A and B are shown apart, each in its own frame.
Chain A
Amino acid sequence: MYGDSGIKLVQHAKRTQNLAHLPPYQTELVRAVTREVRDLNKDVDDLLEPFQGSFDPSEDQAVAYTLLVNHISMRRNKRCLLAYHRTRTDKLEELVWNGADVVDLSGQQVRDGSSRNSTGLTSGDGSTSSLSPQEEDYVRQYGDLLAAYKGQWTDIDLTGSLEPPRDLFIDVRVLKDAGEIQTEYGAITLTKNSQFYVRQGDVERLIAQGYLQKLS
């Protein structure tokens, strides 16, 4: 039945809406739907061929309705495809605003990949990505756009936390090596398992990205 793969795709989108992360891109399904559209278009062309551009719907109703079914099915598939991709890009934009970048998202894909086939994938190469190559590009460019937008107001962090901090300075523990960062009080080298007393504003991003842990 026409539109069945489209429905499956939209059901995926529905599930995606309620998830915190982004499930893998359904390359196969998307391909199936586009293939269906292409087949339908070919059918339409084949049906219209003998008429040589002089088709009168009221004379041959059977053909007219077949064309109608094909046309509506194509439109339906288009809607399913667009809705699926729109749901995902909305999610991606949300993730970018929350401070995720392409590297974070590919980190997620490595975990997904290794749990599925337990071969212990170490690098996030394209084949295990939960994003399609186009989506990765989208995230990168959207991130650039957001950075350019934020760059206009250097003294406000638009993606920062809306909660007012209780203390200006906090204790943090380093979970992952993050290299050297510059603060007002000089440079700090963040090496794993070390502990610092730093200004919250300087390290907020690193906490959000999981490099540091806040100690209460």
Chain B
Amino acid sequence: MSYYDVDAILTDGEKVPCRFELDVPYLGHLDNSSGLKPGSRLALPLWLAEMFALASAGEDSKPPLTLTLPPCLSDHVQAALKADPRAVALRDQSAYFYGVAVRMLDLFDERELSAILRRTFVVRAADVGLHARKAEESGLGGQGEEFLRGLDEWERRLFRRGHEGVKGAKEWTDNVKRS
């Protein structure tokens, strides 16, 4: 992940729900009120929330806010992924689903979530590869199209690579035949 990586920046822009633990009168503009009270809930972009959750001023003081898992990683979504990873349109949850998930796993110790995500990716990647191979021959249609619309940004890149690879190999074999 590079400093200049556009996708990384956009991933950092995704919002996560937080709860403030401190009274900060100067930051009312964050949720359009006159000042943040302890217990105010608001959604902050990752780049802000992460630094905040890790920061603490004194030695024994607790961090000024607590993070919770964003809705795209809620129990509901986890249960759906456990049932059938292919049936969930990840893009509707978040365009940077895996990116956000990886960042959250850095902050939370969620072994089960990590296992679910790993399985989700493996199962879906096989399908992505299959569609990338077939996209040329059959055109997109029916269920496949719906599946592809649900790919998150990472899977899309995978799809594009796979597709380019198949195309490149085909071009090469055609060239060999001709000359």
Contacts and interface: CB of A to CB of B under 8 A. Distances in A.
A3 B13 contact: yes
Interface stretch (B55-63, B72-80, B84-92, B129-137): B55-63
A79 B10 CA distance: 11
Contact of B6 (A14, A62, A68): A14
Contacts of A57: 57
Contacts of B61: 58, 61
A10 B172 CA distance: 36
Q: Is the interface of A mostly helix, strand, loop or mixed?
A: helix
Nearest to A9: B9
Interface residues of A, number: 29
Interface of B: 3-7, 9-10, 12-13, 22-27, 29-30, 45, 47-48, 51-52, 55, 57-58, 61, 64
Given A1-B30, A11-B10, A57-B57, 18 more contacts: A1-B45, A3-B13, A3-B47, A7-B10, A17-B6, A58-B57, A58-B61, A62-B25, A65-B64, A66-B24, A69-B27, A69-B48, A72-B51, A76-B12, A82-B4, A83-B3, A83-B4, A87-B4
Contacts of A62: 22-26
A102 interface: no
B24 A14 contact: no
B26 A14 contact: no
A63 interface: yes
Interface of A: 1-3, 7, 10-11, 13-14, 17, 47, 57-58, 61-66, 68-69, 72-73, 76, 79-80, 82-83, 86-87
Nearest to A72: B51
A10 B26 contact: no
A65 B38 CA distance: 14
7 contacts: A1-B29, A7-B13, A10-B6, A10-B9, A14-B6, A62-B26, A83-B9
Contacts of A72: 47-48, 51-52
Contacts of B45: 1, 3
